[in-house]
Chains A and B, each alone.
Chain A
Amino acid sequence: MGEALIEVRDLEKVFHVRRRAGRWRRTREEVRAVDGISFTVDRGSMVGYIGPNGAGKSTTIKMLTGILTPSGGRLRVAGIDPARERTRLARRIGVVFGQRTTLWWDLPLRDSYALVRRLYRVEEARFRANMERCVELLDLAELLPVPVRQLSLGQRMRGDIAAALLHDPEVLYLDEPTIGLDVISKAKVRTFLRDLNKELGTTVLLTTHDLSDIEQLCSRVMVIDHGRLMYDGGLAGLREIGDGERTLVVDLERELPPIEVPGARTVRVEGPRQWLAFPASASAAPLVAAVAAGHPVADLSLREPDIEDVIARMYVRGAAGAPEVV
């Protein structure tokens, strides 16, 4: 679709780990954290990057931001080689680490922002406009005089996101942006990111454990495991691959025996509530009609397949020697 902002070709990161083997001997072991990954990310897109712990997600992000030097392959972000021109790249990207703050721990939020402004040489007018936007949408007004160390996790995360955006980065990387946040904070962060992408066209690449982040934000997902890209495509495609099933949750007016309708099977019954599973590719409309025609229905809701299941299934298939997805 658009112009490629991030280009990754055969990217590798190999760590050498020394292990004790016996009293004096030490063996050198090679750990391929990222093992030949290729992808491009177009300007203005919003991409989720997921995988289990230790899959190589953070290592990839760290190479994209210039923190780690790749062991092999080619890497360009906005035409810049991150490892060689780190400071030039830094002016054009924003980074948010879920696990640690990019703000100055002992300084009030306001002072942190002032320092960011001067380090990045952000013009006064642009700074003021960006601040206004972030303060309003991220609800920061009351937090500005508070030292960062006194902020709650959710507040700190919002503060961090604002700090990463004051210099109008072309791409925003978020490493586990919703980790440890409560439901309300999560919702705030997600809404903000969605608007940011829509209104300012900022490219967003996020890693997460929380698959609902991806469901709500990203049209494209990359799945990584053991340093390799297992899947790269739309969310819907990922569901198909995992043979996903959707679930119709039916609340009946009273307790009844399991509903029997064609094209679905009842997987669970709990008092008047029943769960009906049907293929993700099938339409829910005829099923709803069939259920409503034969039963006293009080309420209905549709549940999309859980991506976590899908990915787990994908891993099982991968391990069983099935053809690789990519």
Chain B
Amino acid sequence: MGEAVRAYMLTAGMWMRSTMTYRLSFALTFFGNIVLTSLDFVAILIMFAHVEALGGFSVAEVGLLYGTTSFSLSVAHVLTGELHEVGSRIRDGSLDVMFVRPVPVLVQLAADRFALRRLGRAAQGLAVLGWSLPQLDVDWTPWRVALLVTMLLSGAAIFMAIYVLGAVFQFYAQDAAEVQNSFTYGGSTLLQYPPTIFGRELVQGVTFVVPLAFVNWIPTMRLLGRDDPLGLPGFVDFLSPAVAAALLLVAGLAWRAALGTYRSTGS
């Protein structure tokens, strides 16, 4: 484990240094990222100019949902986003090279082309959080602060596990990078809105099948003092870290199995 983290940091560090040789380009893409993703939230603000509440949620409450999922996805994207490329690496054969280095393939793949500029979205997520938190009617006890922080971290871990599972899927269907997008970007877009506006079946699906609801929906209901839409027992609100750990374990095992069935390319 320590060895893997070390290798990740080495590789990521090398890429950071190499991108930092073009500082202007880094600054432009970083802030470009912020501006672009901000338009996203502007759309939500415009919507709230016409309605008081969405599914019973105020604009600040939607901001909380938006900020948390945006931050979590962005952190996962920075750390493991490159896994998205595994399909094309399988096709062009460059994945082979990662097998002959003394570092786990997953670590090399995740750290490859490490790009801090992807944090632009996380910065924007935090900005939205900073804007909405003071407007919320929540008593910030240490417990609630801890819940918020574990929610952000567990959310990132859940998205990372989904990146890994998406990569596993590409071992079997190499053109399926878009499937992963539908769970990461698609999932994140879903989580920006209150669960009350979606159908019960969909909410059940993202709770029990692909547990995206644990990224922010379920713990947020506890923070805001609302009932969760499925009426699950109270302790479920605190399960995000456990769900994240379980999902990471499943993803890790699936990844190992996928590597064992790897077929490489022709030559």
* A residues lining the B interface (CB < 8 Å): 15, 54, 58, 62, 65-69, 83, 86-88, 90-91, 93, 95, 97, 99-102, 104, 106-107, 111, 114-115, 118-120, 175-176
Verify A99–B18 contact, CB threshold 8 A: no
Point out the residues of chain A lying under 8 angstroms from B262, CB to CB: 67-69
Looking at B96-104, B198-206, B217-225, the stretch in contact with chain A turns out to be B96-104
A sample of 29 cross-chain residue pairs with beta-carbon separation below 8 angstroms, ordered by A number, consists of A54-B266, A58-B267, A65-B99, A66-B100, A67-B99, A67-B100, A67-B262, A68-B264, A88-B102, A90-B99, A90-B100, A90-B102, A90-B103, A97-B93, A99-B267, A100-B92, A100-B93, A102-B100, A102-B101, A106-B18, A106-B113, A107-B14, A111-B14, A114-B14, A118-B10, A119-B10, A119-B11, A120-B102, A175-B267
Verify A97–B102 contact, CB threshold 8 A: no
* B residues lining the A interface (CB < 8 Å): 7, 10-11, 14, 17-18, 92-94, 96-97, 99-104, 113, 260-264, 266-267
Point out the residues of chain A lying under 8 angstroms from B99, CB to CB: 65-67, 86, 90
With both beta carbons as reference points, the residue of chain A lying nearest to B260 in the complex is identified as: A69
Which of B99, B100, B267 has the most CB atoms of chain A within a 10 A radius of its CB?
B100
Point out the residues of chain B lying under 8 angstroms from A83, CB to CB: 260
With both beta carbons as reference points, the residue of chain B lying nearest to A91 in the complex is identified as: B102
Point out the residues of chain A lying under 8 angstroms from B260, CB to CB: 69, 83
Return the contact of A62 from the options B11, B103, B264 (Cβ within 8 A): B264
In the assembled complex, the Cα of A62 lies from the Cα of B93 at a distance in Å of 12
User: Given the interface contacts A58-B267, A68-B262, A68-B263, does A99 sit within 8 Å of B93 by beta carbon?
Assistant: yes
Point out the residues of chain B lying under 8 angstroms from A99, CB to CB: 93, 267
With both beta carbons as reference points, the residue of chain A lying nearest to B10 in the complex is identified as: A118
Verify B96–A67 contact, CB threshold 8 A: yes
With both beta carbons as reference points, the residue of chain B lying nearest to A54 in the complex is identified as: B266
Point out the residues of chain A lying under 8 angstroms from B267, CB to CB: 58, 99, 175-176
Point out the residues of chain B lying under 8 angstroms from A175, CB to CB: 267
With both beta carbons as reference points, the residue of chain A lying nearest to B96 in the complex is identified as: A67
Verify A100–B102 contact, CB threshold 8 A: no
In the assembled complex, the Cα of A225 lies from the Cα of B264 at a distance in Å of 20
Point out the residues of chain B lying under 8 angstroms from A107, CB to CB: 14, 18
Point out the residues of chain B lying under 8 angstroms from A114, CB to CB: 14
In the assembled complex, the Cα of A107 lies from the Cα of B262 at a distance in Å of 27
In the assembled complex, the Cα of A54 lies from the Cα of B102 at a distance in Å of 28
With both beta carbons as reference points, the residue of chain A lying nearest to B92 in the complex is identified as: A100
In the assembled complex, the Cα of A118 lies from the Cα of B3 at a distance in Å of 11
Which of B11, B99, B260, B264 has the most CB atoms of chain A within a 10 A radius of its CB?
B99
